[in-house]
A and B are shown apart, each in its own frame.
Chain A
Amino acid sequence: MRTDRELDEILAQIGREHRAVDAPDSLEAVLFAAAGNRKRADRKPRVRMAWTLAAVATLLVVIATAGVVWQSRIRQWPRMQQTQSVPVRRVEPEPKLASARVGGRESVPPRSGVARRSARKERDSSAKEPTWNSLDEFVALPVSEGLPPAAELSVVRMELRGSDLQQYGLQTPADGAARTMLAEFVVGEDGLPRAIRIVR
C-alpha cells in the first residue's frame, strides 16, 4: 500500500515536471506560414477551374461556328444529293441500250444488206451520241471510254441542265437546253463518271 501511494506521488511529481514542458516556439512560425500557404493553395484550383471553363467555352464556340459554316456550305452545294459507297450493278458501256430504245428495231431482223448496213449505221451513230430522252436506263458515257474498269461504283444523283449533257459527250436536246433534269451518274472510285441515267 505504501508503495502504491508512493508511486502515485512520484507519478504526480513526474507529471508536474512533464506538464512544465511546452511546445517549441519554432513550430508556431511554421504553422502560421502553413495556414497562409493553404489560403494561397485554395485560390489556385479556383483559378485553374476558371481557365478550364474558359477553354471549354471557347472550344464549344469554335465547334458551333464550324458547324454553322459547314451547314451553310452544304446548302450552297449545287443541288447535289450524294449516296456514297452504294454498290451498284456494273454498267457495261454498251450503246445498244440506247439504240434499242431509240430505234426500236433490235427485235426486227435485217432483211437485206442495205437495210442491215443502214440499221448498223443508225445504231452506231446512236451509240456514239445517245440522246437525252433515251437515258431512262444507265448508258455508258462517251467520255468514259478508255478509262480503266472501276472496282467499286457509286451512284451520284444531281440536278443539271440539258445543256450540261454536252460536256459528257451527249446530245443536248433542242427543246431542253435550259430544262433542269435529275440525273444519276455511276461514278468509279477514281471519281470519274462512267454512266448516266436521267431520272426525270
Chain B
Amino acid sequence: MSMFKRQGRRRRDGELSDEELHRAALAGSGEAMAALYRRHGGLVYRFTLQMSRNEAIAEEITQEVFLALLTQIDRFDARRGALSTWLCGVARRQLWKYLARNDSAAMLDLDQEGAAEVQSPSDGPVELLLRHEAVAAVRAGMDELPPGLREVVILCALEEMSYEQAAQVLAVPVGTVRSRLHRAKARLAALLHEETASTERKRR
C-alpha cells in the first residue's frame, strides 16, 4: 500500500489536510508543524538517506526541508501538487546542492547490513543465502547508479510513487521518468544477472 494512499485515507477520516496544517504552522502552531512532520517526515528522510547514504546529512536536509515550509511560504502551491511531492522536490534540490558542494565519497558510509530483511518462511537456507546475496548485489548496484537514475529508483520502486508524482518531484516530464527508470533497472538487472551467474559457478 502506497504511503500516499494511506495519507489520503487519513484525511478522509476527518484529520486536517496538509494545506490546513501548513496554514496553522505558518500561524505559529507547533502542533501543526509536528503533525506535518509526522505525516511526511519519513518520506523526506528516507529519500535523503537513500540518496546520501549518510544519516547526519539526511537529518540535516530533512530539517531544512521542513523549515522551508515556514520560510518559503509562496513556493508551495497546493493546486499544483501534493505537499509530499513538494517536500521531496525541495529535499532533492538541497541534496544536489550538497552533492555539488561536497565530496560524494562522504555519502557512502551507511551500514548497508543494518536493515533487517523480510524472509519467506518457506525458503531454505541455500535460497535464503542466495536471496541475501542478490539483495546485497542490488543494493550495491543502486549505490553505483548515477544520482539521476538512483533517485528515480528510490521514488518509483522503493517509495512506490506513480510516474506523475516522481515527475513532479524531479521536475522532469513523465517520459523522462520512465526512460530513466528503464535504464536504471536495466543496469541493475545486468548486475543481478552477473551476480546470479557468479553464484551458479560457485555452486558447481
A and B found bound together: yes
Q: Of B37, B115, B139, B185, which one neighbours A27 at CB under 8 angstroms?
A: B37
A31 near B34: Cβ-Cβ < 8 Å: yes
A17 near B117: Cβ-Cβ < 8 Å: yes
Interfacial chain A residues near B62, Cβ < 8 Å: 23-24, 27
Q: Is A33 interfacial (CB-CB < 8 Å)?
A: yes
CA distance in complex: A32, B135 (Å): 38
A23 near B28: Cβ-Cβ < 8 Å: no
Proximity bits, A19-54, B CB within 8 Å = 1, else 0: 111111011101111111011101000000000000
Give A157 Cβ to nearest chain B Cβ, in Å.
66
Segment touching A, from B75-83, B101-109, B153-161: B153-161
Q: Is A145 interfacial (CB-CB < 8 Å)?
A: no
A32 near B134: Cβ-Cβ < 8 Å: no
Q: Is A3 interfacial (CB-CB < 8 Å)?
A: yes
Proximity bits, B71-110, A CB within 8 Å = 1, else 0: 0000000000000000000000000000000000000000
Proximity bits, B115-148, A CB within 8 Å = 1, else 0: 1111000000000000100110011001000000
A18 near B30: Cβ-Cβ < 8 Å: no
Interfacial chain A residues near B138, Cβ < 8 Å: 7, 10-11, 14
Interfacial chain B residues near A27, Cβ < 8 Å: 37, 41, 59, 62-63, 66
Q: Of B66, B115, B185, B193, which one neighbours A31 at CB under 8 angstroms?
A: B66
Give A39 Cβ to nearest chain B Cβ, in Å.
3
Q: Is B25 interfacial (CB-CB < 8 Å)?
A: yes
Give A117 Cβ to nearest chain B Cβ, in Å.
103
Give B140 Cβ to nearest chain A Cβ, in Å.
11
CA distance in complex: A12, B160 (Å): 9
Give A5 Cβ to nearest chain B Cβ, in Å.
10
Give B33 Cβ to nearest chain A Cβ, in Å.
4
Segment touching A, from B7-15, B42-50, B163-171, B172-180: B42-50
CA distance in complex: A6, B141 (Å): 14
Q: Is B19 interfacial (CB-CB < 8 Å)?
A: no
A32 near B30: Cβ-Cβ < 8 Å: yes
A21 near B117: Cβ-Cβ < 8 Å: no
Give A31 Cβ to nearest chain B Cβ, in Å.
5
B158 near A34: Cβ-Cβ < 8 Å: no
A3 near B118: Cβ-Cβ < 8 Å: no
CA distance in complex: A28, B30 (Å): 9
Interfacial chain B residues near A3, Cβ < 8 Å: 189, 192-193, 196
Q: Which of A27, A30, A40 has the most chain B CB within a 10 Å cutoff?
A: A27
B70 near A34: Cβ-Cβ < 8 Å: yes
B117 near A33: Cβ-Cβ < 8 Å: no
Q: Of A15, A16, A20, A23, which one neighbours B37 at CB under 8 angstroms?
A: A23
A36 near B188: Cβ-Cβ < 8 Å: no
User: For window 133-166 of chain A, which residues contact chain B by CB distance below 8 Å?
Assistant: none
CA distance in complex: A32, B29 (Å): 8
Give A104 Cβ to nearest chain B Cβ, in Å.
92
Q: Of A7, A17, A20, A35, which one neighbours B189 at CB under 8 angstroms?
A: A7
User: For window 20-70 of chain B, which residues contact chain A by CB distance below 8 Å?
Assistant: 25-34, 37-38, 41-42, 44-46, 49-50, 59, 62-63, 66-67, 70
B positions within 8 Å CB-CB of A: 3, 25-34, 37-38, 41-42, 44-46, 49-50, 59, 62-63, 66-67, 70, 115-118, 131, 134-135, 138-139, 142, 153-154, 157-160, 185, 188-189, 192-193, 196
10 extra interface residue pairs, beta carbon distance < 8 Å, beyond A12-B157, A14-B139, A27-B63: A4-B185, A6-B192, A7-B185, A11-B158, A14-B138, A16-B118, A21-B46, A27-B59, A27-B66, A35-B32
A positions within 8 Å CB-CB of B: 3-4, 6-7, 10-24, 26-28, 30-36, 38-40, 42
List the 7 closest A-B pairs by CB distance, nearest first.
A39-B28, A23-B41, A32-B30, A35-B33, A23-B45, A15-B158, A11-B157
